[in-house]
Amino acid sequence: MVRGKNILIGITGGIAAYKICELVRMFKKNQANVKVVMTEAALEFVTPLTFETLTGETVFIDQFENIERKPEHIALCDWADILIIAPATANTIGKISNGIADNLLTSLACAFKKPFIIAPAMNTGMWENVFVQENIQKLKTAGYKIVEPEEGFLACGTNGAGRLAAIEKIYDAVNNIFCGKKYLLNKKIVVTAGGTKENIDPVRYIGNYSSGKMGEAIADKAFEAGAEVVLISTVPFDKPYTVILTKTAKEMAEEVKREFENADSLIMAAAVADYRPIDVSEEKIKKENIDELTLQLVKNPDILSEMCKIKKEGQIVVGFCAESQNLEQNAASKIRKKGCDFIAANDISRKDIAFSSDFNEMILIDKELKVRHLKKDTKKNIASELLELIYDKDN
Ligand SMILES: Cc1cc2nc3c(=O)[nH]c(=O)nc-3n(C[C@H](O)[C@H](O)[C@H](O)COP(=O)(O)O)c2cc1C
């Protein structure tokens, strides 16, 4: 987590400089201390006033301005836990990779010995330039973390590689460095994701709006933290860990039971249908001659309850619940009824979070009914926070 960390951001003279406002805001929201260094060229794109307002700190530009105690670049090196240069121009990348130190940012980059992240952004021609690529390779070999630019529409009107990586990606790269201690090593974590689909006939099903994004985020973060991850999902994902594709609640129940047997924990983020049609028609149901169609439903297995009943000493089971009212009371009653270790509860009446959104906000309740609020954030950040709370990372 970035909370309490001293983050130094170097902004260089690229058109993407304005995007760094959002990065600063994300760090500040997560209680990091942020200072900004700008190159002279960066001043052509964004004003120091913006960053001074966002950080509450003076923006540093000139290396000869304030040298009564320590030279500024050394004082900033001492202060920072991490240095991020974003956007990093071809020019600054060229200087850093060749040990050139002709302004405040490149001088401190030259002296900096702690984690260092570079997020290049430039026109495709510049990015593909053989010398720029050589410089990037040099930095990678020397252990600098490069957050690669993405392909897309560029400010110069062309389409191609060179666009600054998504701000969330840069944030994650920083967060991962601080969460980098693989605190879930040697743990097997089973995560479920997506909404189950209960067949009516070969072409129709009863489903729900779950996108699988929350389960995916939890699985990703558990994997990053060193866990052996099995994601049992109704949505296909291409991942470096095991993904088991299922469709119905019954199929999901079977896979969960098998994988949970030797797992350390189960996190049930999937939206599992409570009911399924009793009879699944083998042929497509035709509308001719049928004015009213009644589907008879039968209860599906309650995977969460079943796993809580068979869980062994030390195994952790986390359930999810989606409520449209009385979130805390309903979540507390669910944790008692099901017997799980934690319940993560979402308010599905909100349009800005949960289903299909990239954002979420939830409360996490433990067996002692202690409630923690996980404030609105990206599903990835919520997933990190959730895992850290479940595994009591700080202890
Ligand atoms: C409108 C405009 C946009 C620019 N955008 C970029 C860019 O995205 N990436 C880049 O490497 N250089 C870009 N440049 C060129 C840099 O500003 C130039 O190389 C400058 O010397 C970089 O200085 P610095 O690395 O000290 O910030 C741009 C120049 C102009 C005029």
Is residue 35 within 8 A of residue 110, CB to CB? The reply is no
The pLDDT assigned to 356 comes to 67
Low-confidence ranges of the chain (pLDDT < 70): 66-71, 180-181, 351-356, 393-395
pLDDT at position 359, please?
Answer: 84
Interval 15-71: pLDDT, tens: 999 999 999 999 999 999 999 999 999 999 999 999 999 999 999 998 777 656 666
**Number of the ligand 1 atom closest to the C-alpha atom of 106:** 26
Contact 13 CB / ligand 1 (< 6 Å): yes
Q: Count Cα atoms within 13 angstroms, Cβ side, for 261.
A: 6
The confidence score (pLDDT) of residue 238 equals 87
Residue 76 CA to residue 10 CA, distance in Å, equals: 11
pLDDT at res. 377: 83
* Beta pairing, strands 228-233 & 82-88: unpaired
pTM of the model: 0.56
pLDDT of residue 70: 65
pLDDT at 72: 72
Residue 44 C-alpha to ligand 1 middle, in angstroms? Answer: 9
Query: 140 C-alpha vs ligand 1 centroid, how far in Å?
Result: 22
- Return d(Cα 309, Cα 330) in angstroms, integer: 20
The pLDDT of residue 352 is: 67
Q: Tally the C-alpha atoms within 13 A of residue 9's C-alpha that lie toward its C-beta.
A: 35
CA of 59 to the centre of ligand 1 (A): 19
> Residue 393: what pLDDT?
54
Query: What integer pLDDT is reported at residue 395 of this predicted model?
Result: 45
Contact between residue 264 and residue 316 where contact means Cβ atoms under 8 Å apart? yes
CATH superfamily of 6-178: Flavin prenyltransferase-like (3.40.50.1950)
If one residue of 91, 132, 150 were mutated to test the ligand 1 pocket, choosing by the most ligand atoms within 8 A of its CB, it would be 91
Q: Closest Cα partner for 383 from 188, 167, 189? A: 189
CATH topology of domain 188-390: Rossmann fold (3.40.50)
CA-to-CA distance for 180 and 192, rounded, in angstroms?
24
CA of 16 to the centre of ligand 1 (A): 10
Same fold, 6-178 and 188-390: yes
pLDDT in tens, 127-170: 999 999 999 999 988 888 899 999 887 777 777 889 999 999 99
Residues with Cβ within 8 Å of residue 257, at least 6 apart in sequence: 306, 307, 310
Task: Tell me, yes or no, if 321 is annotated catalytic.
Answer: no
pLDDT of residue 68: 62
C-alpha distances out from residue 75 to 20, 54, 80, 108, 336, Å = 23, 21, 9, 9, 54
One of 77, 156, 308, 340 is an active-site residue; which one? 156
Domain regions of the chain by residue span: 6-178, 188-390
Taking the CA of residue 91 as reference, the ligand 1 atom at the shortest distance is 25
